[in-house]
Amino acid sequence: MNANQPDWNAIAEKFDLWLPYIAPVTEQLIRRLDPGHGERILDVACGTGEPALTLARRVGGATIIGVDAAPGMVAVATAKAAREGLDHVRFDTMPGERLDFADGRFDAVICRFGVMLFADPVAGLGEMWRVLRPGGRFALAVWGEYAENSSFHMTAQVVEPLLPEGQHTPFDKITSLGIPGTLEAALEAAGFTHFEVTRHGLDYVFPDFDTWWNLLEASAILAEQLRHIGPDRRARVRDEIAALAAAYHRNGQLVLPHVYLVASGQK
């Protein structure tokens, strides 16, 4: 495992700490997807179960399947569905670039912050296109440009110079489809012709810097990078990021602006 990608299995148990902060993205995607009673819906790169679980709570009679390449994420999602007694949603371990479903199987496909992490995003989008029925709908979200996402570029600015040669933070990859025109080109290459892409702001709001930093540490998002840096430099990393974050204090709170893109349309 290198610092270029988070270890999603390792952080699965703690990933839910972030869900309240990205909940508005889930709501935006569901509005765009407009799911209906009795539909067959696929959630690609579902992580610990979202948006599949929210769809299962809201859409009567639907058959919902969530897939993710990380078995640890799928295990957490499966346990959550069982606790809630949601028997019309299931989760499977499956890479988004190789979906093990028949052509045209689904009425709708949704994906929140997954496509940009694929080794081959066009292949992943092509699989979504393939498993949609003719006229089927899709909605997906990816992060905007690197410079538009404050927590990403603050963290990378401090951490990147301290990593061993050949190691990098994951933020260039995470924001790769946010470059203007890139997502549209990928969708077209995958076969989609009827879609729109819109930009949206998303603020992470914390009472103070410590709350955000503690969340970063507790969720293990930076665990791999911090392991490469070593404990002797971690205090320095925290202090330098805190200094950069000072520019984002508003009315006694830390407000970290981000931008994401939503693509939605039909096959």
DSSP 77-133: HHHHHHHHT-TTEEEEE--TTS--S-TT-EEEEEEES-GGGSSSHHHHHHHHHHHEE
| Burial class for 124, CB neighbours closer than 10 Å (0-12, 13-18, 19+) | buried
Structural domain boundaries, residue 143 = 8-149+167-203+258-266
In this prediction, residue 6 carries a pLDDT of 62
How far CA 61 is from CA of 28, 108, 145, 216, in Å, comes to: 22, 14, 38, 38
Rg of the chain over Cα atoms, rounded to whole angstroms, equals: 19
pTM: 0.93
Which CATH number does the domain housing residue 191 bear? 3.40.50.150
Indicate whether 99 belongs to any domain: yes
Q: What tokens were used for 225?
A: 């990078």
Rounded Cα gap, residues 142 and 117, in angstroms = 9
Indicate whether 112 belongs to any domain: yes
Q: Mark the ranges of the chain whose per-residue pLDDT is less than 70.
A: 1-10, 12, 219-221
In this prediction, residue 43 carries a pLDDT of 99
In this prediction, residue 3 carries a pLDDT of 45
Beta-strand runs (E) in the chain: 40-44, 63-68, 89-93, 106-112, 132-143, 194-206, 249-250, 253-266
Rounded Cα gap, residues 90 and 101, in angstroms = 14
Nearest partner of 20 among 242, 220, 212, judged by Cα? 212
In this prediction, residue 233 carries a pLDDT of 84
Indicate whether 3 belongs to any domain: no
In this prediction, residue 230 carries a pLDDT of 74
Indicate whether 69 belongs to any domain: yes
Indicate whether 76 belongs to any domain: yes
Indicate whether 95 belongs to any domain: yes
Indicate whether 42 belongs to any domain: yes
In this prediction, residue 1 carries a pLDDT of 38
Number of domains in the chain: 1
Phi, psi of 88 (to 5 degrees): -105, 15
CB 91 within 8 A of CB 66: yes
Give the count of beta carbons closer than 10 Å to the beta carbon of residue 233: 14
Indicate whether 35 belongs to any domain: yes
